[in-house]
Amino acid sequence: MTAGKQQPAGERTQIRVLLADDHALVRRGFKLMLEAQPDLGVVGEAADGEQAVELAGRLRPDVVLMDLHMPGMDGVRATELITAGLPQVRVLALSTFDLDENVVAALRAGAAGFLPKDVSPEELIEGVRVVHRGESAVAPRLLTRLISTFVRNNPPRTDSTGTVPAGTVSAGTEPARRPGLPELTAREREILVLIARGRSNTEIAAELAVSPSTVKNHVTSLFAKIGARDRAQAVIAAYEAGLVRPGE
């Protein structure tokens, strides 16, 4: 593993990125793409998940580019540890495969987005900037395909007590009464369904004939109720609760 030089306090103007991938050539390629931009800088490199967790704790990057398929500790577990211990660090998951159940697992674990590893330099750069802004970097169509393919057939992992983690929902009865999904208002439920169908806040506001600020307030409330930290986790919760079904 390698660590880049850190900027002195008060001079931090770049988005600080940590690269986690077991292939040195891939890391070098990503580094060249990112450091060609004046607002991006690579502060460290890790060859597996354990190194990624250690470097994230030491370097406190803004964004971690996380390969999901690495030897030893994989990217899903590393994402879980980083997002739990360092909530200010955003993880952007990377996979060789568009339809990969590990992507859904990483989103459940707290990843802020997903990109296939063959993305263009422009898409990679924009993805880093998007997650750094606090948004979710997953194309709505791809997110819907991922979740409709994997979520319904792969229930979330439980913890040592058998409890489903916050932000996930078990299949069962009427959606708003299922374990892990508290009572939502009719409007919150409506907005959650629209989020799961890939609508942005602006599009939701137009469809419901309300202001964007009203939608934002509802989104903040329903995220808190279902334990979702971003839109990707909210979409997963909606599918797991049966509010939205594949093909709709």
Whether residue 156 contacts residue 164, with contact meaning beta carbons closer than 8 Å, is answered with yes
Indicate the Cα dihedral angle 230, 52, 30, 143, nearest 10°.
Answer: -30
Per-residue model confidence (pLDDT) at position 166: 38
Q: What band does 108 get if pLDDT is binned at 50, 70 and 90?
A: confident
- Stronger pLDDT, 244 or 180, i.e. the higher one: 244
pLDDT tens digits, one per residue of 129-177: 989 988 777 765 566 666 666 665 455 444 444 443 433 333 332 333 3
The position carrying tokens 């890939």 is 198
pLDDT tens digits, one per residue of 190-241: 999 888 887 888 899 999 999 999 999 999 999 888 888 777 778 888 887 8
Share of residues in the chain with pLDDT > 90 (%)? 42
The residue type found at 152 is: R
Share of residues in the chain with pLDDT > 70 (%)? 75
- Stronger pLDDT, 168 or 76, i.e. the higher one: 76
* Helix pair angle (201-208, 186-196), 10° resolution: 130
User: CA torsion sign, 149 to 151 to 153 to 157?
Assistant: positive
Whether residue 17 contacts residue 128, with contact meaning beta carbons closer than 8 Å, is answered with yes
Q: What band does 65 get if pLDDT is binned at 50, 70 and 90?
A: very high
What is the model's pTM? Answer: 0.66
Per-residue model confidence (pLDDT) at position 19: 97
Radius of gyration of the chain from Cα atoms? 18
pLDDT tens digits, one per residue of 171-192: 332 333 344 466 888 899 999 9
Per-residue model confidence (pLDDT) at position 27: 94
Region 19-38: mean pLDDT is 94
Backbone φ, ψ for residue 64 (5° rounding): -110, 125
Contact partners, residue 184, CB within 8 Å, separation at least 6: 176, 192, 222, 225, 226
